[in-house]
A and B are shown apart, each in its own frame.
Chain A
Amino acid sequence: EAGVAQSPRYKIIEKRQSVAFWCNPISGHATLYWYQQILGQGPKLLIQFQNNGVVDDSQLPKDRFSAERLKGVDSTLKIQPAKLEDSAVYLCASSLVASGRGSYEQYFGPGTRLTVT
């Protein structure tokens, strides 16, 4: 079974530029998550999708971050304009249903390491 795919794996941009990340979840997984992981910290949820609808985006900085999952499969996360503090690893994860329910597993992709200079 293929895992969660993310691209690119690494990205270096200058502040005020824009950047986009792509995620393809495990086939059949209805729930998709984007996390931000700053070095030395645990992942922080940015947005959670259930199919193509947003379940939770309470911690997404909506003035600069946006995300979509138009067909309920793959997803993109965009930052525009980027700030120095956006330097982090952006992790995508998926689960069959909302993984907090019961013991459903949440599977993570390898992440995209973003450096903003």
Chain B
Amino acid sequence: KNQVEQSPQSLIILEGKNCTLQCNYTVSPFSNLRWYKQDTGRGPVSLTIMTFSENTKSNGRYTATLDADTKQSSLHITASQLSDSASYICVVTRMDSSYKLIFGSGTRLLVRP
């Protein structure tokens, strides 16, 4: 079954600390993996996109990794800021006729001062 599982469901950290969010998937055949940030009351915004051959990609303080062998990805946030408080959604594209995006349920991150 094509699924995307994220952990933890929610996370609270202090401002300035680092954190890592996890994503495991069973989607096959695999096309690419994306991480989105969704602020409350807004649509998701893309952070990174990684294809099969890429195992790390950075976007400022956000670094995503991909292990296509174990079907795992992580999103590392460095030196967290209050504005990082949001939901982070892992999305895997299945390589079928419509290239369907399969969304995880997200990790809700709260950064406290």
Where the two chains meet, the residues of A that have a C-beta atom closer than 8 Å to any C-beta of B are: 4, 40-45, 48, 55-56, 91, 93, 98-103, 105-106, 108-111, 113
Main secondary structure of the interface of A (DSSP, over half): loop
Instruction: Mark out the residues of chain B between 1 and 17 whose CB falls within 8 Å of any chain A CB in the assembled complex.
Output: 4
CA distance A111 to B42 in the complex (A): 7
In the complex, number of A-B residue pairs with CB atoms less than 8 Å apart: 60
Interface centre among A45, A91, A103, A113 (most CB of B within 10 A): A103
B98 engages A42 (CB within 8 Å): no
Query: Nearest 9 CB-CB pairs, A to B?
Result: A100-B99, A108-B43, A42-B103, A100-B93, A56-B98, A103-B49, A42-B105, A55-B98, A98-B99
Q: How many residues of B contact A (CB 8 A)?
A: 24
| Given A42-B89, A43-B89, A108-B44, 7 other A-B residues pairs in contact with their CB atoms under 8 A | A99-B101, A100-B101, A102-B51, A103-B51, A105-B49, A109-B43, A113-B41
Instruction: Give the residue of B32, B93, B103 whose beta carbon is less than 8 angstroms from that of A43.
Output: B103
